Amino acid sequence: MSSPLNGPLETAIRALTLLAEAYPRSLDLNQLVLLDHGLLHSEDLGGPPSLHPPVPIRSSELGVKRHQLTLGLEVLTRVGLADMSASVGGIHFTAAEGAHPFLSLLETAHARALAERASWVVDRYGDLSDAGLRDAIREVSGRWAEEFENFHGGEQAT
C-alpha cells in the first residue's frame, strides 16, 4: 500500500489551497512548487510555524515536488476544481468555481493550518516573479546547507 503523504491527493489539496488563495490570479507550475515549499516550511521564511519538521535535507524536497504537484494538478483539473490555460508565458492554473466551496468542506485542524499558511505565503510571495521566488528559497536553503554541515550523528555539533 502506498503512503498518502505527499501523494496526488495531498498535493492536490495543497495546490488547490494555494490556487484558491491566489484567485483570481493564475499560477504556473514553478510558482506552485516554490509556494508549496513555503506553505510547508513557512517558519524558514519568517512566517508561522512550519507544518513539516525542520529536517536538514528539506531543500531536497524541491526536486520531487514538481512531479508530485503535476500529479495533484491532474487530479484537480480532471474533477473540475482547477482550470488550466496555455499562453505565451506557459501553462497556468486557476482555482475553478467549485474550489472555494470544496475547501470550505474541509474542517480539520490541518486544513485550517494549510489555509492559514497559504494565505501567508501567497500574500508574501504570490506576486514575485519566478526569479524572486527562487532567490527567497535560495537564501533559506543556504542556511539549510549550513545546518546539514553542522549535523553529526543525529545531534547538532557544538
In a domain, 155, yes or no: no
In a domain, 129, yes or no: yes
Number of domains in the chain: 1
Q: What is the pLDDT of residue 129?
A: 78
In a domain, 146, yes or no: yes
In a domain, 37, yes or no: yes
In a domain, 35, yes or no: yes
Q: Which set of grid coordinates corresponds to residue 67?
A: 512531479
**pTM for the model:** 0.82
In a domain, 118, yes or no: yes
Q: Residue 115 sits in which domain range?
A: 8-150
- Its sign, for the CA torsion 137, 47, 155, 64, is negative
Which residues of the chain are under the pLDDT cut of 70?
A: 1-5, 53-63, 140-158
Question: 90 CB contacts (<8 Å, ≥6 apart)?
Answer: 28, 29
In a domain, 142, yes or no: yes
User: What are the pLDDT digits (tens) for 45-90?
Assistant: 888 988 876 666 555 566 677 889 999 999 999 999 999 999 888 8
Residue with cell 537564501: 139
Please, are residues 124 and 117 in contact by the beta-carbon 8 Å criterion? no
Rg of the chain over CA atoms, in angstroms? Answer: 16
Tell me how far apart the alpha carbons of residues 80 and 47 are, in angstroms, rounded to a whole number: 31
In a domain, 54, yes or no: yes
Q: How many CB atoms lie within 10 A of CB 45?
A: 19
